[in-house]
Chains A and B, each alone.
Chain A
Amino acid sequence: MEYDVVVVGSGPAGSVTARFAAEAGANVLILERRAEVGVPVLCGEGISQRVDKWDMLEGKRWIASKMDGAKIYSPNGTLVTLSKEVAGNETGYVVYRDIFDQELARRAVKAGAKILMRAEVTDLLKDGGKISGVKVRQFNEEFNIKADVVVGADGVESKIGQWAGFNTILKPGDLETCVQYTLTNVDHKSDYCEFFLGKKIAPGGYVWIFPKGKDTFNVGIGILASLSKPGMPLKLLNKFISNHSDLKKGEPVRLLAGAVPVANPIETVRDNLLLVGDAARHSDPITGGGLTTALEGGKIAGVTIGKAVEKKTFDKEILSIYETNWKETFGKKLHRDYVLKNILLDFEDKTLNMLADSLKDYKFEEFSTLSLIKALVFKHPTLLMKLKPLLKLSEKSK
């Protein structure tokens, strides 16, 4: 088998890369090791409504609910609210990630991409040192697929990145280890996504409650792996739920685990190869959100590959257009939030309580991390010394 492009992984970054490469005329194959695109879900399922402007998803079937804003609870329960009224109506959706992923894959197929299911990549194919495709195992067969470009869209544990010689191994301080229940029959009225902070609640992370429509909620936890102990996320999540008067009446219809890079983005390009999505560490180090960057990065990757196919040149130089453009589009923001993550990790619970107290009646200008940083600096000029480098990074990342 021979293709222009082989994409390893049919998550959002892989499917969007495949779609835009195919739309530019490339002959594209997606390899998926699972038996169903999008299953099992490994995600909190929140996404910004900015996605509406991007022509990525058709219809509404992938939307579970629309959020009215965010409520952030400090360790002592002090509430900071970012509501849609003050945030210019642009907040977020809670999605069905399985349908979401299948819709993105459908768009890739519509553009001409092919998909092989249950196809596990076991190694890169090399031709005199040059990456020339992948080795695949599907059911009991092993075979090679030749391609001019290999796209590693194989998630947080990316093997493609390792095989291509990137240093993709995450430090425990750069990974959030997560579990989530989808709880039903919950007696909780909220159209907000809610976040709970505190060293006793979720060390180096947070607990979230995302409304999924009617009486159903995604309730999850992320803990920084360097601060975790065996099974700690599940234990702390169970404790949180049993202490929450509304949630404890609910019953789970789903339990899932997840691992989210909260790292600085890495190098993403080699001759004949690039990395997208979680494999490229394109998730936000503060929020852990990675869907919008997967979509934006995937589009940039697909368009770049389209140009490479047109010019029949697949070296690092031409593929670097992708790296330059993702850095411009969201790379600076990811770096800013990585610096901010490390500052926030040093804050004691009482500092977070004090900061939340000063922001409890604050009217935020927009629904963003930047808006929170600005408010903190406005309220606490002494924090300015610590946060000043961030504001500089923020100006750059606009």
Chain B
Amino acid sequence: MGKLNTKVDERGCLACGGCISICPQAALIMFGGRAFVREDKCICCGICIKTCPIGAICEVD
């Protein structure tokens, strides 16, 4: 099993910015009207996953 990564579903994201505002690692950025996870900074704490109001962030293999 490889390392889990946190991913934003780019077709789902509505660009509210909530995940970016609460990420303790400042690992999320807004780009082209969608949120993106910077894998080099993400520690997979899951706070953004819980926060996304439409469930557009999840962990993937």
Contact = CB atoms under 8 A, between A and B. Distances in A.
Interface in B15-53: 15-18, 20-24, 26, 28-31, 33, 47, 49-53
B30 to A, nearest CB: 7
A229 B58 CA distance: 12
Residue among A168, A223, A231, A255 having the largest count of chain B Cβ atoms under 10 Å: A231
A104 B59 CA distance: 40
Nearest to B51: A225
A162 B21 CA distance: 10
A169 B26 contact: yes
Contacts, number: 96
A175 B14 contact: no
A175 B51 contact: yes
A257 B23 contact: no
Given A42-B16, A257-B15, A259-B16, A179 B54 contact: yes
Nearest to B58: A230
A15 interface: no
B50 A229 contact: yes
A231 B16 contact: no
A9 B12 CA distance: 24
B21 A156 contact: yes
A234 B18 contact: no
A157 B30 contact: yes
Nearest to B15: A40
A252 interface: no
B47 A257 contact: no
A257 B21 contact: no
B14 A255 contact: yes
Contact of B22 (A162, A225, A255): A225
A258 B16 contact: yes
Q: How large is the interface on A (under 10, 10 to 19, 20 to 34, 35 or more residues)?
A: 35 or more
Interface string A224-267: 01001111111000000000000000000001111101000000
A126 interface: no
Nearest to B14: A257
Nearest to A230: B55
Residue among B26, B51, B56 having the largest count of chain A Cβ atoms under 10 Å: B51
A231 B21 contact: no
Given A255-B14, A257-B14, A258-B16, A177 B30 contact: no
Q: How large is the interface on B (under 10, 10 to 19, 20 to 34, 35 or more residues)?
A: 20 to 34
Given A34-B33, A40-B15, A156-B17, A170 B22 contact: yes
A171 interface: yes
B18 A156 contact: yes
Contact of A230 (B14, B21, B26, B50): B50
B10 to A, nearest CB: 14
Residue among B22, B52, B57 having the largest count of chain A Cβ atoms under 10 Å: B22
Given A156-B21, A157-B20, A261-B21, A172 B50 contact: yes
A198 interface: no
A42 B28 CA distance: 19
A258 B17 CA distance: 7
A7 interface: no
A169 B53 contact: no
A258 B15 CA distance: 8
Contacts of A229: 50
A177 B51 contact: yes
A155 B61 CA distance: 32
Interface in A16-64: 33-34, 40, 42
A177 B14 contact: no
Contact of A234 (B22, B51, B53): B53
Given A225-B47, A261-B21, 14 more contacts: A42-B16, A158-B21, A171-B22, A177-B18, A177-B53, A229-B50, A231-B52, A231-B54, A233-B53, A234-B54, A256-B16, A257-B54, A259-B51, A259-B53
Interface of A: 33-34, 40, 42, 120, 155-159, 162, 168-172, 175, 177-179, 223, 225, 228-234, 255-259, 261
13 contacts: A33-B30, A158-B21, A169-B22, A172-B22, A175-B21, A178-B53, A179-B54, A228-B53, A255-B14, A257-B14, A257-B18, A258-B18, A259-B16
A-B interface, 4 closest residue pairs, ranked by CB to CB distance from nearest: A231-B55, A259-B18, A157-B20, A157-B17
